[in-house]
Amino acid sequence: MKILRSNRRTLVVEITKNAETLVRAPYFVSDAEIESFLKSRRAWIEKHTKAMEERLRKYPEPDEREVKRLLKLAKETLPKLTQKYAEMMGVSYKSVKITHAKTRFGSCSKAGSICYSLYLMRYPMPAIEYVVVHELCHLRHFNHSAAFYREIEKYLPDYKIRKALLSGKD
């Protein structure tokens, strides 16, 4: 467990991408208060640590050869899939770029540039299609409002199941 103290006002706990417990605490909070806080959230910490460990087990850090393979596959797959869904949805985008991002599977700029992480290719096709449709829906709704998710649902009625695949849980 790691404790980071700063000028923040609230005490929070998070599970990192490496399945480690991280506490963010204000300077004025005592060690005893942090300990009490952690005890009160023990079940949440255990649940999320286990989930992250499972994700790490299923999707370990790839070696250089695997990264090259994923990049090639992403370049072959994602532009075509984006074009297919854009035509189906009646939207247009500026470009598709493949990145090495590790913390997000996709992004869409207001100018219509769509970026996908090569790591998305480690997931099943229904999850990949969800990310593509998700990013294309941002061309109509540049937010995560109820209207945005209704738009996704028009094209992927089972989007919640597809989205869940990205968490590493089957």
82 plus 161 within the same structural domain? yes
87 and 46 housed in the same domain: no
pLDDT tens digits, 60-108? 888 999 999 999 999 999 999 999 999 999 999 999 999 999 889 999 9
Asked if 153 and 76 sit in the same domain, the reply is yes
Report the C-alpha dihedral over residues 101, 62, 69, 168, rounded to 10 degrees.
Answer: -70
98/143 same-domain check: yes
Which one of 11, 40, 58 terminates a domain? 58
Using a 10 angstrom Cβ sphere, with 0-12 exposed, 13-18 middle and 19 or more buried, the burial of residue 165 is: middle
Q: Give the domain range for residue 53.
A: 2-58
- Residue 122 near residue 139 (C-beta atoms within 8 A): no
For the entire predicted model, the pTM comes to 0.74
Q: How far is it, in rounded angstroms, from Cα 26 to Cα 10?
A: 6
Q: How long a stretch of residues is the chain?
A: 170
Q: Please count the structural domains in the chain.
A: 2
Examine the domain organization and report whether 125 and 83 are in the same domain. Answer: yes
**Looking at the domain assignment, is residue 170 inside a domain?**
no
